[in-house]
Structure 1
């Protein structure tokens, strides 16, 4: 089979805080049978902790500081609420949301600790309800495309 006979996966920036690929690219990928490998599905850790909490990365990541806005706090809070109601970690909920998109083949998840791998694997077993998805998505506001120019 020649390389031109099949499609390679598309790598995209996609998470609950940045959903711009849903407008055109993800529907195109679905139509053409192209898998999507999202990077930063946890929004550089923003979706895994309280909005005001900091980490070594959040303190030093200048590019990351430009990606998110104060209104994203409501989405981070919604992730915390859904995770709390289910008794699971926030990372599991955020990853489960990404994984529910049928064009997503495998998100790129950083594994700096064993717990990160545990959360990624546990997310595979989580099936979010329609009400949970609505709760997670309702505060999203469109923004500029990020990650490339």
Structure 2
């Protein structure tokens, strides 16, 4: 494993990060595995040199953080882990159990530390832009956590470039360290971040963490593939309302056709090729891997050894057509959760 610096920091992270959203409670989203399943995947990740693990208090309303804490406890030295978690999404309908106010951040980090069974987290991210809280308040609260020793670095997720710039400016003013990371959606069928966010991160030393590298599985799916999926994979494909809201429009289909063609010519699985394309992007520090089956991790690790030619890279990129920002999915997830809760009540 060749480790990379996270942006301009000295923190070394693996180019693959195990995304822990897949583990917690199926009552949060139907395809999520129970907490106990996480240990197998965490151990497999560690055995393959992966030292980076990403979660959020929002995932399974804390159960994902518990899954990571329980999976790593007694298995590995704390010093060998790089743990990232997030704050800002609603944990309930109560007014101060959502958003990125100083109060929310201060209380959320203590709850996350308890669930993760650690004294500090390496990276703490604002999960989304909070229209009700000045970004200066949020960044100052994060900087206070650094001085308190509860977090080592901080960053943001899902910010637009002007929002990212405001957060970076405040971070530089407050501590002169700036943001350590930006987590964003990026894959072969969604490349809008290449316009502004990725160049801004590159120029300002902000490490890029990519989620949905396979477009939540859409890139390697299709009706023909459905029959070969495991039960867990099929459940996600059929009940992942966010993925259904985001992908499968316009030029997406031609991009997927070319991906399958290039993969066939190379004799490689398409997912491996799609991840190799991302790993070759200069601003990308790490890509998040959501593993429901062991072979998902195996394929991600294998992608580290794939080097695509310039011809293949260009051929994969040609069909893409710039379009609107894809920010759908959150409302669909919340509606699904309400439906599940009603059915279980």
- Partners of 1:8 and 1:102 in 2: how far apart? 16
1:72-121 per-residue CA deviation (whole Å, 9 max, x = no partner) reads 11111111111111111111000011111111111111111111111111
The answer to whether the 8 Å contact 2:209/2:287 transfers is: yes
**Which structure 2 residue ranges, 5 or more long, are not aligned?**
1-145, 148-152, 154-174, 227-233, 331-345
Question: Structure 2 length normalisation: TM-score?
Answer: 0.41
More strand per residue: 1 or 2?
2
Matches of residues 120-131 of structure 1 in structure 2 within 5 Å? 120-131=300-311
Equivalent residue in structure 2 for 1:145, among 313, 317, 325:
325
RMSD: 2.1
- The answer to whether 1:66 aligns with 2:66 is no
- Distance, in Å, in 2 between the alignment partners of 1:30 and 1:93 is 24
CA deviations 1:30-83 (Å, max 9, x no partner) are 111111001100001111233664433232222222212043111111111111
Equivalents in 2 of 1:34, 1:56: separation in Å?
35
Aligned equivalent of 1:119: 299
Q: What CA distance in whole angstroms lies between the structure 2 residues aligned with 1:135 and 1:50?
A: 21
Q: Is the partner of 1:66 in helix, strand or coil?
A: helix
Secondary structure class of the residue paired with 1:105: strand
Larger radius of gyration: 2
Which sits farther off after the overlay, 88-97 or 62-71?
62-71
* Equivalent pair of 1:51/1:76 in contact (CA under 8 Å): no
- Select the residue among 253, 256, 269 that pairs with 1:89: 269
* 1:41 counterpart = 2:221: no
- The match for 2:197 is 25
TM-score with structure 1 setting the length: 0.90
Answer yes or no: is the 8 Å Cα contact 2:278–2:284 preserved in 1: yes
Unaligned runs of 5+ in 1: none
Q: Structure 1 residues 61 and 31 mapped into 2: Cα distance closer, same or farther (>3 Å)?
A: same
SS across alignment from 1:44: coil
Which whole-Å CA distance do the structure 1 matches of 2:316 and 2:210 have between them? 18
Is the 8 Å Cα contact of residues 13 and 147 (structure 1) preserved in structure 2? no
The number of residues matched between the two structures is 149
